[in-house]
Amino acid sequence: MTGLFGGVFARGGVGAEVNDAAWLRALLDAEAALARAHARAGRIDPAHAEAIAAACVPEHFDTDALGSAAPGAGNPVVPLVKELTRVVGPEAARHVHEGATSQDIMDTAAMLVCRRAGAVIRAEAETACAGLAALASGHRATIMAGRTLLQQALPTTFGAVTAGWLDGLGTATQALGEVVESRTPAQLGGAAGTLASLGDDGPAVLAHYAAELGLPEPVLPWHTDRGPVAELAGALARVCGAAGKAAGDIVLLAQTETGEATEAGGAGVGGSSTLPHKRNPIAAVSAVACAEQAPGLASTLFACQVQEHQRAAGRWHAEWLPLADLLRTTGSAVAWLGTSLERLSVHPARMRANLDLTGGFPLAERVTTDLAGELGRLPAHELVQDACQDAANSGRGLAAVLAERLQGRRTEAQIASLLDPAGYVGSTGTFVERALAAHARRTTRNGGRTSVNEEQE
């Protein structure tokens, strides 16, 4: 994608793997592999196969011209085959596209595009995961308010929060890798999925074709079984969801009234067309903008699964653009998240100040738990709930109200200890360690770690 929106919605390296040039390359790779498969099966002279493969060079073809000619047959393969036949020498020309139908080449090209774009997406996601791992490790003891329904709940740590982002994106990326590597099959079935024109050689040609491409060999042609595309859609949408979750939380933490994290600005970064003071977390905002597109694109691809008979009329064609767009938006979402993490500054003092705003309310559950052994769960809950209501209505601190109500049961020092958030973060340390260990197991390379700037306080 280029033009007005390319800078936002084609972030990172994924754009080059899903553009017209990438699709043309994949279509030509499929045609070259088909010719070589016929040669390996002994059906054509190897010299003819190599002549066809040598002609399958993107520079020999004009994507705009192919696109303009595509309406005649409803897909770009027909004009591509015509042009390829013209480019190839006369002896080899009769073997161009032999035994295949247009959908075979389009579906195979789609799987190649998904594999190549998928590798870029995974690399971008691994970079983001490295940044998240650094945050989780460095902030395992940084206390902050946990929030539920957008209200302060119990204390947690920023390390635990980022560990959650890390595990979500890491497991989603791992799942995408499994789909891209093992469930992106080659497609070769001929006109109706029978390979009748190849006689008894059909299965052998299919096996050689898949091997030439480095794609899994399908059990049988999958012209109207769109499971591979649906699996890709689900895996890509899951990565988008994980990236969007982390980026969305960063946007919330960067709100003026919260101020617990900010993206470092700079000339032209995070500014406003009218407000000179603005410091928008624009990388995180852009990641969310990209991720928000995934559900609709995935939904279209899922809907395209219901296809007629042995070859579909329209639903197969409807997959091409949303699949490319979903690959692009997924790669862009994780690339933007990585940029946000590179720019991120964390403000532990502000986190603690926000946690202290309510005068101990987030620790009310801890007081209830402490009293439950003496009073019973429900009476303890009601006592603390009434104390919280009193403190909220009167403007007094919860510690002072509890000191009055628990006189003779708990000392002021005991109450202060119960209301100390540092002592009530549960198993966050263990969970951070588990997330980091899982990340280490998933990591296949050590380069590309992001840096995170922390505020000095």
The DSSP H or E segment spanning 351 is: helix 348-356
Question: In the structure encoding, which two tokens stand for residue 58, read together?
Answer: 């993107």
Question: In the structure encoding, which two tokens stand for residue 370, read together?
Answer: 């402490």
Cβ atoms of 241 and 291 within 8 Å: the answer is yes
Cβ atoms of 342 and 380 within 8 Å: the answer is no
Distance CA 185, CA 447 (A): 30
Helix or strand or coil: residue 263?
strand
Contacts of 437 (CB under 8 A, 6+ apart): none
Distance CA 283, CA 248 (A): 11
Q: Is 115 a catalytic residue?
A: no
Cβ atoms of 206 and 34 within 8 Å: the answer is no
DSSP class of residue 423? G
Distance CA 180, CA 116 (A): 9
Helix or strand or coil: residue 224?
coil
Q: Is 272 a catalytic residue?
A: yes
Helix or strand or coil: residue 417?
helix
Q: Per DSSP, what are the bridge partners of residue 331?
A: none
Cβ atoms of 198 and 79 within 8 Å: the answer is no
Would you list the DSSP string of 269-281?
BS--SS-TT----
How far, in whole angstroms, is CA 124 from its chain's centroid? Answer: 9
Catalytically annotated residue among 137, 183, 279, 311: 311
Tell me which residue of 416, 425, 408, 414 sits closest to 360, measured CA to CA: 416
Opening angle at CA 25, ends 23 and 26, nearest 5: 65
Q: Where are the alpha helices (DSSP H) in 183-279?
A: 202-213, 227-253
Residue count of the chain, please give it: 457
Tell me which residue of 385, 379, 378 sits closest to 401, measured CA to CA: 385
How far, in whole angstroms, is CA 421 from its chain's centroid? Answer: 34
Distance CA 69, CA 419 (A): 73
Catalytically annotated residue among 68, 272, 394, 427: 272
Residues marked as catalytic = 272, 311
